[in-house]
Amino acid sequence: MSRETISQSISIVHPISLSHGKNAEVWDTTGKRYIDFVGGIGVLNLGHCHPGVVEAIQTQATKLTHYAFNAVPHTPYLELMDRLTAFIPVDYPVSGMLTNSGAEAAENALKIVRGATGRTAVIAFDGAFHGRTLATLNLNGKVAPYKQKIGVLPGPVYHLPYPSADNGVTCAEALKAMDRLFSVEIDVEDVACFIIEPVQGEGGFLALDVEFAQALRRFCDEKNILLIADEIQSGFGRTGQRFAFSRLGIEPDLILLGKSIAGGVPLGAVVGRKTLLDNLPKGGLGGTYSGNPIACAAALATLDAMTDEHLKTWGSHQAEAIVSRYETWRTQGLPFVGRLTGVGAMRGIELASADGTPASKQLTQLLSLARDAGLLLMPSGKSRHIIRLLAPLTIEPAVLEEGLDILEACLKQLTQ
């Protein structure tokens, strides 16, 4: 099959063609097997072709394949929203809307906060990634390649340093930068919301500083500013909890969902305070495919599998295996193995030279070496120097260890 019909502006990490997959394993069109540590970039927390999800899709496909909910409501949407809002670990009344993707969830969140506050300015963070649509591009805390050649983007949007033990930016430094922002750049009274990832995805699996998160929540409350948590990649068990914001001891006003919400079927959501979700005029929210019946059925099956007991067990097992292996590599003095970032099963391994500079060249080597050896990896970080580990939470222990064995062998082969 030719790739000439595919836009050359789409960057492909692994130049292979997949045929099929099962849980944490995939096979390409030549029959070669790979262990999947990419998981569709965080979409497959339940693995490829989870039996419960597949059965739900098949059953729903014989009943109703599509209806636009804003034209005529359908049962899967209604059932999912009841289940989903109950799944959100906050104390306030929750409502929401379904979308086709995480980026669409972010776009709708911007509409919601504008309608609720009458303000337009948004504060995002360095290293952030919130989508590829025009408005979400401006939220992203990285120019190349997302904002190049695009021109003026919807705004106003301002960025602050992202404080994390994983990048060395302290809470005090971030708060100082915020004070400067409101002294020099913009009146705080014009700010509608802050949008932040509890654990950055594209940014390198950086875990947000807890002290800063709580200070930001207090600041938003004092200034009548809304706080949006982007849980598109960190949600649905990736950190060992339902959502990563719980570890911060805060409750966001709006939460963006996507990726692993529906076991691989395109779906997203904006959920949060009911008073916010209800503030736009009738017809202000909606979409033709948003909340497609088949996607809703897949999401309901996903929630069935994601009990708190399962999430804790899956997350702790994977985290323990990764941390144990990483500590061994550090003890052995493996070249280029830098910091371990993230929390729970949402982990990144930084590649760095002896002087601490990002080893981007070596990460490119590693992607190729690992692929040849039967392991798929995903890069991240400002300098594309951090390996994102996104194996399914349901990965079999033996397959996880096999994948880590391959990773270790390939790390030992890296050259200057």
Statement to judge: residues 111 and 216 lie in one domain: yes
Is 189 a member of any domain? yes
- Residues 244, 354: one domain? no
Q: Residue 20 domain-assigned? A: no
pLDDT tens digit sequence for 56-105 = 999 999 999 999 999 999 999 999 999 999 999 999 999 999 999 999 99
Q: Are residues 218 and 76 part of one domain? A: yes
2 pLDDT higher than 70: no
> Is residue 275 one of the residues assigned to a domain?
yes
> Which of 1-15, 38-52, 389-403 has the weakest average pLDDT?
1-15
pLDDT of residue 148 exceeding 80, the answer is: yes
Q: What percent of the chain has pLDDT over 90?
A: 95
124 and 224 both lie in a single domain: yes
Lowest mean pLDDT among 152-156, 158-162, 314-318, 351-355: 152-156
Span of 7-16, 187-196, 318-327 with lowest mean pLDDT? 7-16
User: Looking at the structure, do residues 381 and 392 belong to the same domain, yes or no?
Assistant: yes
Position with higher pLDDT, 293 vs 1: 293
pLDDT of 32:
98
Q: Residue 168 is part of a domain; what is its CATH number?
A: 3.40.640.10
CB 345 within 8 A of CB 240: yes
Q: What is the pLDDT of residue 4?
A: 84
Name the pLDDT band for 153 (thresholds 50, 70, 90): confident
**What is the arithmetic mean of pLDDT over 282-300?**
96
Look at residue 64 in the predicted model and tell me its pLDDT. Answer: 98
- Please determine, for residue 1, whether its predicted confidence score (pLDDT) is greater than 70: no
The answer to whether 259 touches 235, Cβ cutoff 8 Å, is yes
Looking at the structure, tell me whether residues 206 and 313 fall in a common domain: no
Q: Tokens 């200057």 label which residue?
A: 416
Instruction: Give the domain CATH number at 333.
Output: 3.90.1150.10
Handedness of CA 320, 322, 324, 326 (dihedral sign): negative
In a domain, 11, yes or no: no
Specify whether 383 is located in the same domain as 296: no
- Asked whether residue 147 is domain-assigned, the answer is yes
Of 305, 331, 361, the domain-final residue:
305
Rounded to 5°, angle at Cα 395 from 390 and 397:
120
Look at residue 257 and tell me if it is in a domain. Answer: yes
pLDDT of residue 152: 87
Domain that holds residue 70: 53-305
In SS3 terms, the chain reads as CCCCCCCCCCCCCCCCCEEEEEECEEEECCCCEEEECCHHHHCCCCCECCHHHHHHHHHHHCCCCCCCCCCCCCHHHHHHHHHHHHHCCCCCCEEEEEECCHHHHHHHHHHHHHHHHCCCEEEEECCCCCCCCHHHHHHCCCCCCCCCCCCCCCCCEEEECCCECCCCECHHHHHHHHHHHHHHHCCHHHEEEEEECCECCCCCCCECCHHHHHHHHHHHHHHCCEEEEECCCCCCCCCCCCCHHHHHCCCCCEEEECHHHHCCCCCEEEEEEHHHHCCCCCCCCCCCCCCCHHHHHHHHHHHHHCCHHHHHHHHHHHHHHHHHHHHHHHHHCCCCEEEEEEECCEEEEEEECCCCCECHHHHHHHHHHHHHHCEECEEECCCCCEEEECCCCCCCHHHHHHHHHHHHHHHCCCCC
**For residue 386, what are the β-bridge partners?**
350, 380
Query: Does residue 312 share a domain with residue 291?
Result: no
Residue 13 lies in a domain: no
pLDDT in tens, 329-345: 999 999 999 999 999 99
| pLDDT value, residue 144 | 83
- pLDDT, one tens digit per residue, over 234-253 is 999 999 999 999 999 999 99
Alpha-carbon distance of 162 to 170, in angstroms, equals 9
Tally the domains of the chain. 2
- Which band of pLDDT confidence, cut at 50, 70 and 90, is reported for residue 392? very high
Residue 92 lies in a domain: yes
Cβ proximity of 240 and 312 under 8 Å: yes
Which tokens go with 318?
A: 């994977």
Q: Are residues 300 and 318 in the same domain?
A: no
CB atoms within 10 A of CB 393: 27
Examine the domain organization and report whether 313 and 234 are in the same domain.
no
Query: Are 208 and 342 part of one and the same domain?
Result: no
Do residues 294 and 80 lie in contact, with contact meaning Cβ atoms separated by under 8 Å? no
* Separation between Cα atoms, residue 69 and residue 72, nearest integer Å: 5
Task: Among 305, 321, 339, give the residue marking a domain's end.
Answer: 305
Contact 273, 355 (CB under 8 A): no
Between CA 332 and CA 98 the distance in angstroms is: 48
Residue with tokens 């990965």: 395
Give, in order, the Cα–Cα distances in Å from 415 to each of 351, 360, 361: 12, 12, 9
Give the model's pLDDT for residue 154: 85
CA distance 293 to 266: 11
Q: Name the domain boundary from 288, 305, 322.
A: 305
Six-digit token string for 26:
């995939």
Q: Which distant-in-sequence residues (6+ apart) come within 8 Å of 333 by Cβ?
A: none
How does residue 3 score in pLDDT terms, banded at 50, 70 and 90?
Answer: confident
- The owner of tokens 């809307």 is 97
If one compares 151 and 125, the residue with the highest pLDDT of the two is 125
The confidence score (pLDDT) of residue 331 equals 94
Nearest alpha carbon to residue 171 among 248, 90, 256, 89 = 248
Do 290 and 180 have their domain in common? Answer: yes
Q: From CA 344, how far away is CA 326, in angstroms rounded?
A: 14
